Amino acid sequence: MKTEPSQAVEALRRTPVFSGLEPEELAAVARAVVMREVPKGGLLFEEGDEARGFFLLVSGRMKVFKATPDGREQILHFISPGETFAEVALFAGSSYPATAQALAPSRVAAIPREGLFRLVEKNPQLCLNLLAGFARWVRQFNALLAEYAKAVPARVAGYLLAEGMRQHPGTLADGVRVRLGVNKGELAAHLGTVGETLSRAFARLREDGLVEVEEKEIVIRDLAGLRDLAAGGGP
């Protein structure tokens, strides 16, 4: 559905991709934005769909995943409000290489290809911002590949540290609570393992005094130890 230009401008202004744009340029993008409401479990796009634009998550939570040959999910990214995604597909190919699904009721700003390309031609800063967005996804993907080389407890420790820093920027410490925000199956798919192995990894972290597990919240009890485990990737 279309949205009020002022609402779209406010959503766009808060994301790094569109920082530095003049008010009239931001308004030009906002006029082309289509806001989409995606219910929990709904698909925003599927692998192989034509890439007609990229997206900004305004509210909610989403995952981007690929289906493995045996039918399982490999979750590549969890998307939080304020993050843009699918930029690479917009420029690198004609179709989306993965599927985006809502983990909670979500509101998404869809930025169409045509209007964006016209603006990029006129605005070098926007082009640089988009390149920075590409670099961010490449770094995250490389980090994900590096994590898969580690033992599962180390992957869990790394995930908890990353989520903790995202939820508590600059204040991560012993006693901080980290909300998982996803179920065990989704987290296992993101970390490249299965639910039973993930449960054993959490049990190890608890037995080693690194964390406490409380429903969907994890309490960090030994931040230094958690960092050592994540960095070492031990057995």
Tens-place pLDDT, residues 71-117? 788 898 899 898 888 877 777 667 888 999 999 999 999 988 776 77
Q: Is the pLDDT of residue 24 over 50?
A: yes
Share the mean pLDDT of the chain: 84
Residue after which a domain boundary falls, among 147, 180, 203: 147
Same domain assignment for residues 33 and 137 = yes
Residue after which a domain boundary falls, among 100, 115, 147: 147
Per-residue pLDDT at 232: 79
198 Cβ contact partners less than 8 Å away, ≥ 6 residues apart = 152, 156, 184, 187, 188, 191
Q: Which of 54-68, 74-88, 128-142, 184-198 has the lowest mean pLDDT?
A: 128-142
Q: Shortest CA distance to 164 belongs to which of 210, 209, 203?
A: 210
Same domain assignment for residues 140 and 184 = no
Same domain assignment for residues 126 and 100 = yes
Domain ranges, residue 57 = 5-147
Residue after which a domain boundary falls, among 126, 147, 168: 147
Same domain assignment for residues 79 and 46 = yes
pTM higher than the cut 0.85:
no
Q: How many folded domains does the chain comprise?
A: 2
Same domain assignment for residues 194 and 217 = yes
Q: Is the pLDDT of residue 1 over 60?
A: no
3-state SS assignment for residue 41: coil
**Using 50, 70 and 90 to split pLDDT, how confident is the model at 123?**
confident
**Using 50, 70 and 90 to split pLDDT, how confident is the model at 2?**
very low
CATH number at residue 209: 1.10.10.10
Same domain assignment for residues 142 and 220 = no
